[in-house]
A = this chain, B = another copy of it.
Amino acid sequence: MILIGERINGSFKDIGAAIKEKNKAPIQDWARKQTEAGADYLDVNLGAVSKSPEDFHWLIETACEAVPTPLSIDCNKLDLMRVALEAYRQIAGARPLVINSTTAEDSKLMPLVELAAQYDGGLIGVVMDERGSPQDIDRRVELGAKIFAVAMEAGLPPEKIFLDPIVMPLKFMQEQGKNVLEAIRQFAMISDPPPHISIGLSNAASKAEERALINRTFLVMAMTAGCDAAICNVMDAELMNAVATAELVLNKEIYSDSYLKAHRKRG
């Protein structure tokens, strides 16, 4: 399972303030904590706090200084993404990278696929386009296949392509849960080897009372369907235990009585 820590995001109050004040401590603290908790990548996102390339450069540099963990560069402005990727390669050298994200819209997909190829990064492709987010399975799979084909065409191998089926809040779009699970199952059959399948987990429990329970149950279900990556709260120990256990059942990690400890040490 590829775990992408969600916490370095300007939408969180402490990170937003840290970006404004150029205060490295909270960012580096979350970089370390998430890494220790087992994050394979750290998502970095300015949120609504800033659109400045200098701020993004500073944020990336600050995170990279603290830990050797690869980053997931998270931004929906193409120009800002371009600057951020150049900054990351200057700062972090050949460190792995995920670009978060493109959609299936041609005007986004083509340039982001090129950037992924140019900077040797993984690319998360969210299955929406100019018509918005699909509500059904077929449209999700159609857009996933399009993203996959365009990325392969540009030379990205399957292991650099992350398809995101768009998890919807259970509270407001309950009927979408099954569709997302079935879309994941079909993404896994797009090629052999398949692309990665990544979800933005916390959206599942948006505005719900039982957030942690819904998130960990949904992630186990998504893993059963074939999901192998998630942007999530890696600090949630019960979520991490559920992931470790699902990986045992799927025979991706070897059983030992102390498998939970082994999984935590992996980080």
B-contacting residues of A (Cβ < 8 Å)? 170-171, 174-175, 177-178, 181, 204, 208-210, 213-214, 217-218, 220-221, 223-225, 241-242, 245-246, 248-251, 254-255, 257-260
Contact = CB atoms under 8 A, between A and B. Distances in A.
A201 to B, nearest CB: 12
12 contacts: A170-B249, A171-B255, A174-B251, A174-B255, A181-B224, A208-B257, A210-B259, A214-B248, A217-B242, A218-B249, A220-B221, A221-B249
A259 B210 CA distance: 9
A221 B246 contact: yes
A177 B214 CA distance: 23
A204 B242 CA distance: 15
Given A177-B249, A255-B174, A241 B213 contact: yes
A209 B258 contact: yes
Contacts of A225: 224
Contacts of A204: 249
A251 B220 contact: no
A144 to B, nearest CB: 19
A172 to B, nearest CB: 9
A62 to B, nearest CB: 36
Given A177-B250, A249-B178, A221 B224 contact: yes
Contacts of A249: 170, 177-178, 181, 204, 214, 217-218, 221
Contacts of A245: 210, 213-214, 217-218
Contact of A251 (B175, B217, B251, B254): B175
Contacts of A242: 213, 217
A5 to B, nearest CB: 22
Nearest to A245: B217
A255 B168 CA distance: 14
B210 A260 contact: yes
A205 to B, nearest CB: 10
A254 to B, nearest CB: 7
Nearest to A255: B174
